[in-house]
Structure 1
Amino acid sequence: MVTEQEVEAIGRTLVDPKQPLQTRFRALFTLRGLGGLGAISWISQAFSDDSALLKHELAYCLGQMQDARAIPVLVDVLRDTRQEPMVRHEAGEALGAIGNPEVLELLKEYSTDPVVEVAETCQLAVQRLEWLQQHRGEPVTGPYLSVDPAPPAEERDVGRLRAVLLDESQPLFERYRAMFALRDAGGQEAALALAEGLRCGSALFRHEVGYVLGQLQHEAAVPQLAAALARPAESPMVRHECAEALGAIARPACLAALRAHAADPERVVRESCEVALDMYEHENAAAFQYADGLEQLRRAAC
């Protein structure tokens, strides 16, 4: 059982800018796992931070928790044009992930936002909510237990899925469905097909490809992820996701790429490499879980 005092202690770690970023990330994912109004409140407070990377992850976690009590703060973040595009995008995606139709009209409004990443995200979120309304009772979580911005396609042939993924004339929602079906298929062929997506589509699309490759954790995608991370002309939100994917894959070949960009001039990339190196260490250690904020707190109290 978790006490209110423990939730508060983990929350204080999250909102403390003096704490190392990787420590704050572990606190965030601990709160995501604990859930409840107290966790939502602490996560919401951290949107005043100056790290776009952290705020992006805050919104992601609120969406994954699927608790409607997080909707007001996510709406505020989406509406706040002072927030970085990658933060507003993630708030829109989180509203779609929660799955409550009450935000449908708001998401339609922001589907024409002048920031293309925000507009495309809200378009996808609208289509997800409409899909949910049409397919009530159908499961929408796959083997990765994440709430995705689009349900996986029914198609299972990797070649056909690759064709849809890479076809820029296809609707974005269908390309996303192919993307998640490839992830669920797994294996080297699917990983290589997904990695080709790092060279096509919008920045939002490439960003999601990087995220999915991090979930898949297949070493075959490492060269393409490292190459995308190293491209200075690439969107920072894509490079950031490639860095985190390399940290999740956690093979020796990932380490050099992450270290090479640990002092990158782009803050979100630099911070992503910092977090990814911490993930790399976790994946190669005997620790049970990455979200170990509660474990660390209780160990310190002994």
Structure 2
Amino acid sequence: MVRTCSKMWAVALTVLLSAAAPARALNIFACEPEWASLAKELAPEADIYSATTAYQDPHYVQARPSLIAKLRRADLFVCSGSELEIGWLPALQMRANNSKVRDGQPGAFYAAEQVERLDVLGKVDRSMGDVHGGGNPHVHWSPTRIEQIAKALTQRLIVIEPANAERYQQQLASFLQRWQTQREQWAAQASSLNGVQVVSYHTSYRYLYDWLGIEQVGDLEPKPGLPPTSGHLASLVSLHKQKPYQLIIYASYQDGKAANWLSSKTGTAVLGLPYSVDPNKEQLVDLFGLYQTAIDQLLAAVAADG
């Protein structure tokens, strides 16, 4: 009898401890910090890890053992897609051997697949350089696309954790309200940027320019993915004589050497724009800060140019 009672108490204690133990947080692997930031808006209780920083080229990432381990434990990954991570994400998926985050599963979420992309190409070959046939993948620079991606990501979170559906919908509603209010303010603030002509490094800000009406008239790369050459930079000097552009822009993960050289030959201002969220910098801590900082810097650079 004593032994039976002891067993009953042991079972009861196990049940109580299980009920008291907190549920395991959803584990989210973000390929880039912009998607880690969005995931935090929608799932603040989740355990979120960003594979890259704002100062890394997201095209080229080493499939390190630490990244493999993180993806192995993930319930969901959130990546740009449109071939941005084609050089490293498939290798991570294969080595992580996590069935939850295989392509086609609910745990595999590609942001660019949720929206209409710019610069979709019908035919791609090596002679064109490192182009993305499925369209420009840098969709986090489009505020309206961010809204669409947030809605799609919320639905994916609900598929993975249906018990938390109401919570996720509430987080989405809060984010969209704040984002749409800010988007209108940004558009008004940046209206003077419409028609500004720039030369950029790569097409990293294609969606930002499309939104603000900025015209990219030249690229520091002779072809996508190829480093600037002296001959190509000389052609951009000639372009400035025919069509004076107001800014030379490169991203925080790109080398500014070519931009500074071109500036020295044309007298055009150089601007190193932040590319993504940096949780360690107050002004770039989230998507709101990233957008505001980029707009402030663009306005200041154009104003200084006169």
TM-score (norm 1): 0.28
